[in-house]
């Protein structure tokens, strides 16, 4: 079959792209997704449909690629890396925190030669993609496909109220809108899950476009390789259903030597500071597991709002932390601070483990290699320990479950704990970085075209030069 555009991967980016490109009836678009497709909302499995359910990112979920990675050299066990394997991709299994980066993040990409990506250039797209149900101003959209809301303060569970009050009393300002360019301080977290429905790009972008005659969506189809004629991409070879043994290759022919591929792997490293909830304390069951958050600038940091702390609580179905991974659940009842390093100095590398595309890659995050990263995490964890002692938390928690008193005794002990317990918020990016002519490590140009070949683009977060100080779904659409 011939199509004008073939999109490999029906995730957050792929669904959005398919919907936008097929707006032109003269362009035929094929979207291929390795995981299952669910065209009918009625048949969407609960763990994908409902935002408070984290079952889809559990290690043994059929909707999870379940990769492993190395976080730091000091870790004895590999980290579990969830990625969505279903229409909507990771956006169908994620935590629905809907945060933008800071203007400085996008402006720094523009300064690196990607002028189209400055804050003023991306802002119209942020507005276009959302309908913010709470904030009406020049920075927010009112007609976009993704609905965004915050849990109103009167509905916060007592643990979230305690978080908010304790951070205010630590001296952080109230932040009425975490998606405002000036954002800083403590407030309600914007989420794309009104009515508790996880509004992935599959629901918000793809489904309304499915009726188009020029758009074809195929689930359960895994692309095996891009087919080239010389250096021009002309097609995609796929495997449907069971992988055919005879398709195995012993080597991959090199079409282009692009030294930046796989380098510059960026992420938001995080650590969970576990609280011991008292008997009978209300934790999130069928309400958002993240309701309040804090953004602040670390002591002595030149990077504004480079730290984020959210409180997560859960009990009941699909146990797990929506942004820090279901596999962290402890007996299905948990309360913790999720401490996130929003702009790390350290970066890692992604390499192939096999020529077989069905085998996951080697993911080596190399978190905390830069001392500044360790210092900021240490400071944030000590802040959490102080917050836990606040009078509002006293009736709700009996203390910290981890790190323990011995870990907090000295900086050396705490650093060792951080290295051993560092985790991910699943916001990997940067491994096919964009950049201008003359930037040898740039894999794509700022229009996502792969340098050195024709007819091939990478349209996902791997093109971002770095993470932004936010969660990661937000893309230009
Ligand atoms: C557990 C978890 C929690 C998260 N929480 C948040 C959050 O709260 N807020 C937020 O903003 N972000 C969050 N994120 C991150 C966010 O969801 C991702 O950054 C975003 O979805 C990535 O979009 P993408 O299109 O680049 O990739 P994906 O959405 O992962 O899409 C890639 C798609 O490609 C498919 N695919 C891969 N290989 C092939 C192949 N060879 N052939 C065919 N199809 C293929 C995959 O199955 C997948 O559907 C979270 C992520 C995870 C995993």
Q: Which residues are annotated as a binding site for FAD?
A: 86, 94-97
Smallest CA separation from ligand 1 atom 49, residue: 89
User: What is the reported pLDDT for 284?
Assistant: 87
85 C-alpha to ligand 1 centroid (Å): 8
183 C-alpha to ligand 1 centroid (Å): 26
Q: Which ligand 1 atom sits nearest the alpha carbon of residue 54? A: 1
Q: Which residues are annotated as a binding site?
A: 86, 94-97
Q: Which ligand 1 atom sits nearest the alpha carbon of residue 81? A: 53
393 lines ligand 1 (CB under 6 A): no
Outline where DSSP puts E strands in 192-244: 215-218, 221-229, 232-240
Q: Is 427 a catalytic residue?
A: yes
User: What is the reported pLDDT for 75?
Assistant: 85
Residue to mutate (ligand 1; options 6, 9, 17; most atoms within 8 A of CB)? 9
User: What is the reported pLDDT for 247?
Assistant: 36
Q: Following DSSP, what letter does each residue of 163-182 receive, concatenated?
A: HHHHHHHTTPPB-S-TTSTT
Residues near 246 by Cβ (< 8 Å), separated by ≥ 6?
none
User: What is the reported pLDDT for 248?
Assistant: 43
**3-state secondary structure (DSSP) of residue 197:** strand
Alpha-carbon gap, residue 194 to 197, rounded angstroms: 6
257 C-alpha to ligand 1 centroid (Å): 27
User: What is the reported pLDDT for 472?
Assistant: 55
Complex ipTM: 0.99
User: What is the reported pLDDT for 77?
Assistant: 86
User: What is the reported pLDDT for 355?
Assistant: 82
Smallest CA separation from ligand 1 atom 34, residue: 9
Dihedral angle sign, alpha carbons of residues 138, 142, 147, 148: positive
Alpha-carbon gap, residue 346 to 70, rounded angstroms: 14
User: What is the reported pLDDT for 328?
Assistant: 53
431 C-alpha to ligand 1 centroid (Å): 15
444 C-alpha to ligand 1 centroid (Å): 20
- Tens digit of pLDDT at every position of the chain (477 positions): 899 999 999 999 999 999 999 999 999 999 999 999 999 999 999 999 998 888 899 888 999 999 999 998 888 889 999 999 999 999 999 999 999 999 999 999 999 999 999 999 999 999 999 999 999 999 999 999 999 999 999 999 999 999 999 999 999 999 999 999 999 999 999 999 999 999 999 999 999 999 999 999 999 999 999 999 999 999 999 976 443 333 344 467 788 888 899 999 999 999 999 999 999 999 988 888 899 999 999 999 999 999 999 999 988 766 667 777 655 555 567 899 999 999 999 999 999 888 888 889 999 999 999 999 999 999 999 999 999 999 999 999 999 999 999 999 999 999 999 999 999 999 999 999 999 999 999 999 999 999 999 999 999 999 999 999 986 554 545
Q: Which ligand 1 atom sits nearest the alpha carbon of residue 11? A: 31
Smallest CA separation from ligand 1 atom 26, residue: 460
318 lines ligand 1 (CB under 6 A): no
Asked if residues 466 and 105 have their Cβ atoms less than 8 Å apart, the reply is yes
DSSP code at position 243: P
34 lines ligand 1 (CB under 6 A): yes
Q: Which long-range contacts (CB under 8 A, 24 or more apart) does 169-178 make?
A: 169/390, 170/383, 170/386, 170/387, 172/294, 172/296, 175/295, 177/135, 177/139, 178/99, 178/293, 178/295
340 lines ligand 1 (CB under 6 A): no
How far is C-alpha 194 from the geometric centre of its chain's CA atoms? 19
Strand partners, 7: 31
Pick the catalytic residue: 246, 419, 427, 447?
A: 427
Smallest CA separation from ligand 1 atom 18, residue: 473
User: What is the reported pLDDT for 257?
Assistant: 87
Cα distance from N-terminal residue to C-terminal residue, the chain: 27
């Amino acid at each position: 079959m011939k199509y004008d555009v073939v999109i490999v991967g029906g995730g957050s980016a792929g669904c959005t792209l398919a919907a936008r490109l097929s707006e032109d009836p003269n362009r035929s678009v094929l979207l291929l997704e390795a995981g299952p497709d669910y065209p009918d909302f009625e048949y969407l499995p609960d763990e994908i449909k409902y935002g408070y359910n984290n079952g889809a990112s559990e290690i043994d979920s059929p909707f999870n690629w379940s990769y492993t990675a190395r976080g730091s050299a000091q870790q004895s066990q590999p980290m579990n890396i969830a990625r969505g394997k279903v229409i909507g991709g990771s956006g169908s299994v994620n935590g629905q925190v809907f945060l933008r980066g800071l203007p400085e993040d996008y402006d720094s990409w523009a300064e690196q030669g990607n002028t189209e990506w400055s804050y003023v250039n991306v802002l119209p797209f942020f507005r276009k993609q959302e309908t913010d149900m709470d904030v009406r101003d020049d920075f927010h959209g009112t007609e976009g496909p993704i609905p965004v809301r915050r849990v109103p303060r009167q509905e916060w569970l007592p643990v979230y109220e305690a978080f908010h009050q304790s951070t205010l009393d630590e001296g952080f300002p109230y932040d009425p809108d975490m998606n405002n360019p000036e954002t800083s301080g403590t407030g309600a977290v914007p989420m794309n899950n009104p009515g508790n429905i996880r509004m992935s790009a599959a629901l918000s972008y793809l489904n309304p476009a499915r009726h188009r005659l020029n758009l074809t969506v195929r689930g359960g189809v895994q692309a095996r390789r891009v087919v080239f004629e010389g250096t021009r991409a002309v097609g995609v070879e796929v495997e449907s259903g069971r992988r055919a043994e005879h398709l195995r290759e012993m080597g991959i022919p090199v079409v282009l030597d692009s030294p930046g591929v796989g380098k510059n792997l960026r992420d938001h490293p995080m650590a969970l500071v576990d609280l011991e909830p008292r008997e009978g304390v209300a934790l999130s069951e069928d309400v958002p597991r993240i309701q309040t958050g804090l953004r602040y600038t670390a002591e002595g940091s030149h990077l504004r709002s480079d730290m984020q702390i959210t409180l997560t609580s859960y009990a009941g179905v699909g146990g797990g932390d929506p942004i820090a991974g279901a596999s962290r659940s402890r007996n299905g009842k948990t309360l913790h601070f999720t401490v996130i390093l929003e702009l790390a100095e350290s970066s890692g590398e992604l390499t192939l483990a096999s020529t077989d595309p069905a085998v996951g890659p080697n993911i080596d995050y190399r978190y905390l290699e830069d001392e500044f990263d360790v210092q900021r995490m240490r400071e944030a964890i000590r802040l959490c320990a102080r917050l836990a002692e606040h009078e509002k938390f006293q009736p709700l928690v009996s203390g910290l479950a981890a790190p323990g008193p011995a870990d907090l005794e000295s900086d050396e002990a705490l650093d060792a704990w951080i290295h051993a317990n560092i985790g991910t918020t699943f916001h990997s990016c940067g491994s096919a970085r964009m950049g201008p002519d003359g930037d040898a490590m740039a894999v794509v140009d700022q229009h996502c075209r792969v340098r050195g070949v024709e007819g091939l683009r990478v349209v996902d977060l791997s093109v971002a030069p770095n993470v932004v100080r936010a969660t990661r779904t937000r893309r230009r659409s």
